Amino acid sequence: GESVGLHLPTLSVQEGDNSIINCAYSNSASDYFIWYKQESGKGPQFIIDIRSNMDKRQGQRVTVLLNKTVKHLSLQIAATQPGDSAVYFCAEKRTSGSRLTFGEGTQLTVNP
Amino acid sequence: GAVVSQHPSRVICKSGTSVKIECRSLDFQATTMFWYRQFPKQSLMLMATSNEGSKATYEQGVEKDKFLINHASLTLSTLTVTSAHPEDSSFYICSARVPLTDSYNEQFFGPGTRLTVL
């Protein structure tokens, strides 16, 4: 089956704290994963990606962890800032195709 | 980076009318574009894959006669919502695939179009 968003989990953190956003994916054949940030009324914005032959990848203030055994993906944001407030989606795809399947999303709210 | 635009950003229409949404790739040619629909507090759901010069491929449950897709050029795909009804009110987002890229991050998203049907 495919990941389908039916509700929107929320995460509220204090400014300066680290945030961890989780995502469970369903297709064991997926071998490429992306995290997107979506601000209100805007399209998704690429944050970071990871291939299935890796279990960790770091960017600027962000880290993605992949656990293929339990089909789990996480996004860690260091020193979270008010500008990080948005909905975060994970997406998966197979390298043999272009189709992206989006996870349910998490609403991150950063309190000053 | 690759830029994708959508027009209009917001549209309000009366029930029964048709609405056309444009998706353009501004600095690259896209043989493939994708149309997504997003309801409030929900995820993006792929509606159809638009291929330049050929018929679009629709996802299961999406009515091709209601959501007409035309990809007549390498930089433009249009989605027409025909005989719109209030339940069609949603946020419609397109993405364009950058061809011949070494990166697996090959889809770039437009800013979305908010459709409200009265």
Determine the average pLDDT of the residues in A1-12.
Answer: 64
User: How high is the mean pLDDT of chain A?
Assistant: 90
Dihedral, CA of residue A32, residue B114, residue A87 and residue A61, to nearest 10: 70
Instruction: Say whether pLDDT at A8 is over 90.
Output: no
| A15-56: pLDDT as tens digits | 999 999 999 998 888 889 999 999 999 999 999 999 999 999
Joined together, the tokens standing for residue B75 give 């930089």
The list of chain B residues with pLDDT below 70 reads 100-102
**Tens digit of each residue's pLDDT (9 = 90 or more) over B30-60:** 989 999 999 999 999 999 999 888 899 999 9
How far from A109 is each of A16, A30, A36, A81, B44, CA to CA, in Å? Answer: 12, 29, 16, 10, 20
User: Which chain B residues are Cβ-neighbours of A3 within 8 angstroms?
Assistant: 43
Per-residue pLDDT tens digits for A83-106: 999 999 999 998 766 789 999 999
Chain A contact present for B109, CB below 8 A: yes
The two structure tokens encoding residue B14: 């009366």
Partners of residue A42 in chain B, C-beta under 8 Å: 111-112
Residues in chain A with CB shorter than 8 Å from the CB of B101 are none
Rounded to whole angstroms, how far apart are CA atoms A75 and A22?
A: 6
Mutate which: B104, B113, B114, B115, vs A, most A CBs within 10 A: B104
The answer to whether B110 contacts A105, with C-beta atoms less than 8 Å apart, is: no
A103 in contact with B, Cβ within 8 Å? yes
